[in-house]
Structure 1
């Protein structure tokens, strides 16, 4: 229903803004990068001028592109008011904001420019990432149609290659490593030429896109059951017995009384999940050191690989060539409950997903022993690759599997 979609869009704009006009929301685990400034002088302007220009101090170390960011007045007659920066001259420190009856800056007035760090990350993202991952992180940038595998859709907040346990989000360091190293065997390149600060800013913005996307999904799911177009037609049909006016009145009441709590819960639960993922206890850390790589360890790993305990060969094939029996089946989409049109495995984004040919030695999540260990322990999120965590295998068994898998590129 359009009447349900509009409040959701408005709520997202209030909480997050949009990629062209960012807004700060205190409840997010995001480095917004607030900067305090002070009005030095105010330029005289004509009575019919649309903008007020003033010189400011305190912005010398701020990001040099502040256009579009919110500016909160923290003292003076305008205290408590929010302006949007329309123009900014980094060289002179001159800011222009829209002229209104409530905005009357005077020398000495202080203000807070919000989201400077987030804007820095956004601009870097637009320059380096947007053409593949899209403006809102939906994975449909202008070059995405030519790429296989397709670029990641950041909005579900699911990242395949993480150092965290199977139910946790990615850690910041996981995403930073992906940006720096790229993903082997895909079109995701390495950005090692970027500085540490630039990589950090991009990841900060990508996480913000994920939190915004996840919040939107939760709100849509909450409203879909009772207020989707299909449900509206059913409820107002002859068999449904309700009038359009009754359904709209119910929706209006829900939006006034319950939707604010729904919005707060959706945002806070997503933010909390990201915060928890960056705690030490979320990290997959082996309990024992790596079992020394030896023929005996590899043989134990090979037997595990072929066993019913792991069923690795079902997908990766008995020789590890990625041609297991699962690649010949028609699998069911867990979202639509319909069969995929193509044989083989798929990820949650609906992309066909051939199991890795382990003889090629290309591991998208990293080729260090600890990377392979974490893939075995936590699985690969968003894919059929299962997790063999603490209750499924012993630490020694996981290391034996690591040694076997890492030996395959060198076997005959």
Structure 2
């Protein structure tokens, strides 16, 4: 299926249109509903084979809570955020859909937004990502102190292995057990492993999980970048 750019634009602007039988629904049903369900509730036919008793489960779009965003905690994602997730996937959980055309990926975003009425009036704005300094050994050493002071070890462990004292007790927002990231394996980071990706995750948090936003707790962008440098230094060689 190939969708013209003009039709994509019309559908993006007309979020209130009928979902039945249109191209956005067709793309969603073909590519997304197997896990997320035809009604967007995360209960598709493949959902119960994916971490039935442990988080993360397929996203329930009707709740309006999204982990992977460039927006402050508690806000909805931008269209670009949703497109980025569709294009990249989520390592270990959701495949990349780069095999779809650009137009088809945009239509999938249109379909996802229809499941939560709040998108109709939302005007989400990305957080500011400060310019990155040199992420060298000195920055990583300072970042180690930030890591300790911010309490990151409680979940991620002293050495970033995801084995902190709180790790076994963590639950997501629906009560399912959830494991903190093992920071030695950045390719598994759900929000991406590039420096900007890690900085963004620290500032926005992962809504619906125990991973909070550190925008208020660590106000100094230099300290945040030092923490990014430290996290990157933990990568298993």
TM-score range, shorter chain: 0.7 to 0.9
Partner of 1:318: 158
Does the CA contact (< 8 Å) of 1:117 and 1:201 recur in 2?
Answer: no
In the alignment, structure 1 residue 284 sits paired with structure 2 residue 124: no
Offset of residue 204 of structure 1: 0.5
Within a 5 Å distance, the mapping from 1:92-171 to structure 2 comes to: 115=18, 119-148=22-51, 149-171=56-78
Distance 1:347 1:377 in 2: 19
Offset of residue 360 of structure 1: 1.4
Match of 1:387 among 213, 225, 228: 213
Partner of 1:356: 181
Q: Which protein has greater RCO, CA pairs closer than 8 Å, 6+ apart? A: 2
Evaluate the alpha carbon distance shift between residue 292 and residue 141 of structure 1 in structure 2; reply closer, same or farther with a 3 A threshold.
same
CA deviations on 1:219-277 (whole Å, 9 max, x unpaired) are: xxxxxxxxxxxxxxxxxxxxxxxxxxxxxxxxxxxxxxxxxxxxxxxxxx6632x2x21
Q: Deviation above 2 Å: which 4+ runs of structure 1?
A: 29-34, 114-118, 269-272, 390-393
Distance 2:33 2:26 in 1: 10
Partner of 1:370: 196
Within a 5 Å distance, the mapping from 1:198-347 to structure 2 comes to: 198-211=104-117, 271-272=120-121, 274=122, 276-277=123-124, 282-286=125-129, 288-307=130-149, 310-328=150-168, 344-347=169-172
Distance 2:64 2:102 in 1: 23
Does the CA contact (< 8 Å) of 1:33 and 1:118 recur in 2?
Answer: no
Distance 1:405 1:145 in 2: 33
Match of 1:172 among 67, 73, 79: 79
Partner of 1:31: 13
CA deviations on 1:187-242 (whole Å, 9 max, x unpaired) are: x111101111100011011000122xxxxxxxxxxxxxxxxxxxxxxxxxxxxxxx
Does the CA contact (< 8 Å) of 1:138 and 1:155 recur in 2?
Answer: yes
Q: Which has the higher strand share?
A: 1
Secondary structure at the aligned position of 2:115 is classed as: helix
Offset of residue 33 of structure 1: 8.2
Does the CA contact (< 8 Å) of 1:347 and 1:382 recur in 2?
Answer: yes
Question: What are the ranges of 5 or more consecutive residues in structure 2 without an aligned counterpart?
Answer: 1-10
Partner of 2:3: none
TM score, norm. by length of structure 1: 0.51
Evaluate the alpha carbon distance shift between residue 373 and residue 205 of structure 1 in structure 2; reply closer, same or farther with a 3 A threshold.
same
Does the CA contact (< 8 Å) of 1:31 and 1:118 recur in 2?
Answer: no
Offset of residue 145 of structure 1: 0.8
Distance 2:81 2:12 in 1: 16
Does the CA contact (< 8 Å) of 1:32 and 1:118 recur in 2?
Answer: no
RMSD: 2.2
CA deviations on 1:22-45 (whole Å, 9 max, x unpaired) are: xxxxxxx953389xxxxxxxxxxx
TM score, norm. by length of structure 2: 0.87
